[in-house]
A and B are shown apart, each in its own frame.
Chain A
Amino acid sequence: MHPATPPTTDTPVGRHHRTPRPRRRLLRGLLAATVAAPLMFGAAACGDDGSAADPNAPVKLSIFWWGGDARAKLTEDALALYTKKHPNVTFETTWQANQGYFDKLATLTAGGNPPDLFQIDDNYLAEYAARSTTLDLTSYQESGKLDTSKFPESLWQYGVVDGKLAGLAAGENTQGLVYNKTLLTKHNLPEPTTGMSWEAHIAWAEEVSRKTGVPGTQDPSADYKAFWVWLRQQGKDLYEGRELGFTAEDVTRWFDLWKGARDRRATPTADVIHEGNSSDVTKQLVVTGKSATSWVWANQMPDLKKNTKDELGVVAYPGDPSAQWARASMYWSVFKGSRNRDIAVDVINFLNNDQEAVKLLGTDRGLPSNLDLRRVVSDDTTDPAMKQSIAVEAELTQKFGESPQVPIKGHSKVKSELIKAAENAQYGRATTAAAAAQFVEACKSAIA
């Protein structure tokens, strides 16, 4: 073998006199790289807004949701089905618990690296839509690329913020009062029923506490969704346009209702109530055995059931059930700057309207939004907990009232302020009136 000869060796030196000396070249190269690297990252962060021209070019779509193992399995199966039908599209899936999900989503967005497609709920939809982070899906809906013809109208409309379709309902749910059936049966106590008044519910809970030693009901005064239902029964609402739909007096009455319940020992003590105020399914008092009922969403039944050996039942929240509505349990939204937005929208359409995909997903994200497929899935379901949540929703569908507006920007702060104010009253650190006044004050600055 001949030793490799450097090609420059026999070139006349004179011609190359301007060639940078090796060391200098190195330095310049390094400097250039140093300067260029941040610029390149910066440019990448800005994103490319041209859509893929070739529909068959390989695409990797990033998708992000919150949920447990079961949801991950179902979702990944459904996405695999999409890949089977569109081999050029693969997915980069990321999922985690609800706790911390929105922190991460915000950070990803800030870092210029948001997922193409993400799950979001009504607590944050307006926050994101108001800041133009979500793609307006209206044009896709109009062109039929996003088919909502089989959706209940109020359901997809619950994704409209400021006239833009900011997210498409991934499922439907509603408030559900979940109770420990085993405990009640054991002590020969009646089960709660839909339409029971608040007063009757509290009296029932007091009876349960007395007979079983387990507090009858979680005190939901810190729970915005219970407060919301109660407000609607009083002819009020959480929001009216960009204003609060209630006054400090309303809040005081709500807090007083539950102070009465605590005084009658219908609820656990403040520290246990605090534990149950977590959004974590596994910490709900009905599954930790620290109370006989919990205030949740009806579609959480199967998840709750996984955390307890006891039989559970579910009914509507107390009072007139027409205060409840067909709520989008969560939405799929597309990042506005996504390069693959057309495909992302197609995936949403697939997850909602493809029979096989919807059957795979079941009722994990709530009842399927597509009414035809909802029937198919309901008939097929074998999971008893899922059956129960379907049954109660089917029953309530007849009674649902009109949907309220999607919570406005600042809502996440309103939620946490309600917890703070309610707990202040529960721990006895403030009177109900003072806590209510503090809450309304904080809300006003949160939504300003």
Chain B
Amino acid sequence: MALTTAPDPTRRGPGSNRAHASRRGPGHLRHSEGLAGYVFLSPWLIGLMGVTAIPMLLSLYLSFTNYDILTPFSEARWVGLANYERMFTADPSYWHAVRVTLTFALIAVPLKLVAALGVALLLNRAWRGIGLFRGLFYLPSLLGGSVALAIVWVNMFNRDGAFNSLLSLVGIQGEPWVNDPDWALETLMVLAVWQFGAPMVIFLAGLKQVPTELYEAASVDGAGRFRQFRNVTLPMLSPVIFFNLVLETINGFQGFTAAFVLSNGTGGPVDSTLMYTLNLYITGFTDLEMGYASAMAWVFLLAIAVLTAIFFSTGRFWVHYSDGEDR
């Protein structure tokens, strides 16, 4: 690194008189230290600017153009609000994708959180070997957005997949799940719910934070397990629930990999798995309408921001922070 080989300005030696001269005053020193601060920040700053901020702003600009990827964006034509207009008034598949995504998130996210909380409650004990179970339950979410997992899913849930073989043992003839437009999205939901590891771990940590004296007091007052759960665990856990809800909702809306792999990148069968991000991808990269796709991305960003704002504004009614502050 260039920084580590830089000569020390305070070092005694041939150049020391010059180095000394640089100390003109405290103000100047502070200024150059501030600059040094930015230099040390630069790896992150360059990353933020280059990888996130600049491309984002660029995509905002492109969303007002007819940029098609193949021609340089300096030649993209300004079309004003046409992309946004088309999205809201003239593109049925856009609204179809919105519906698919909402359906997916509305069902998969709550189920995933319930599963995560349920398993976290089960695993919140001091049994021997419980660590192993925690690890096992967490495993699926490590495989997360992986393509391999989605491929396994496709093979498990088609007409002659493993799942139908199981069903046939009990005499049920299964559907061709992933290849059936009535079931493909549900299959994706199951996959999402099954990967409940990340929120589960956070729930577990939250459960461990609940002071045991609250439970003791509650049981002295004659509260049963259910009442303890409802009146102690849930309120104490509400910040964690809130956190998981916000995070998982955002994740849910952004679901892409599984839908992409399951449908060979088409959103099929018959657009049943056409998630918002997949539609955006197809629009940008297959149909070569990157300007329009950028507009979709910005509407998506705003929608998620609004949704998160709604969560935060309703949070004060049900999220209980036990830091003494009355919210």
Contacts and interface: CB of A to CB of B under 8 A. Distances in A.
B136 interface: no
Contact of A413 (B39, B270, B287): B287
B70 interface: yes
B68 interface: yes
Interface residues of A, number: 51
Contacts of B132: none
Given A109-B69, A420-B271, A427-B269, A21 B159 contact: no
A99 B286 CA distance: 11
B69 A22 contact: no
B263 to A, nearest CB: 10
Contact of A107 (B36, B268, B285): B285
Nearest to A111: B69
14 contacts: A6-B14, A21-B21, A22-B19, A23-B22, A26-B6, A30-B42, A31-B39, A34-B42, A99-B265, A274-B268, A419-B268, A423-B269, A445-B90, A446-B287
Nearest to A37: B46
Interface stretch (A50-58, A124-132, A145-153, A319-327): A124-132
A21 B9 contact: yes
Given A23-B9, A34-B42, A103 B285 contact: yes
B144 interface: no
Interface string A1-36: 000001011000100000101111011011100100
B269 to A, nearest CB: 5
A74 to B, nearest CB: 26
Interface in B22-50: 22, 32, 35-36, 39, 42, 46, 50
Contact of B14 (A8, A128, A429): A8
A225 B287 CA distance: 19
A373 B42 CA distance: 60
Interface of B: 2-3, 6-7, 9, 14-15, 17-19, 21-22, 32, 35-36, 39, 42, 46, 50, 68-72, 90, 93, 158-159, 176, 179-181, 264-266, 268-271, 282, 285-288, 290
A272 interface: yes
Nearest to B266: A416
A21 B19 contact: yes
A31 B42 CA distance: 9
Nearest to A11: B14
B270 A429 contact: yes
Contacts of B70: 106, 109-110, 127-128, 131, 133
A445 B72 CA distance: 24
Nearest to A16: B18
Contacts of A420: 268, 270-271
Contacts of A429: 181, 270
A413 B267 CA distance: 13
B36 A419 contact: no
Given A30-B2, A131-B288, A270-B269, 19 more contacts: A6-B14, A21-B9, A21-B19, A21-B21, A22-B7, A23-B9, A27-B32, A30-B39, A99-B265, A106-B288, A110-B70, A128-B70, A133-B71, A269-B176, A412-B288, A413-B287, A423-B270, A427-B181, A429-B270
Contacts of A27: 32, 35-36, 39
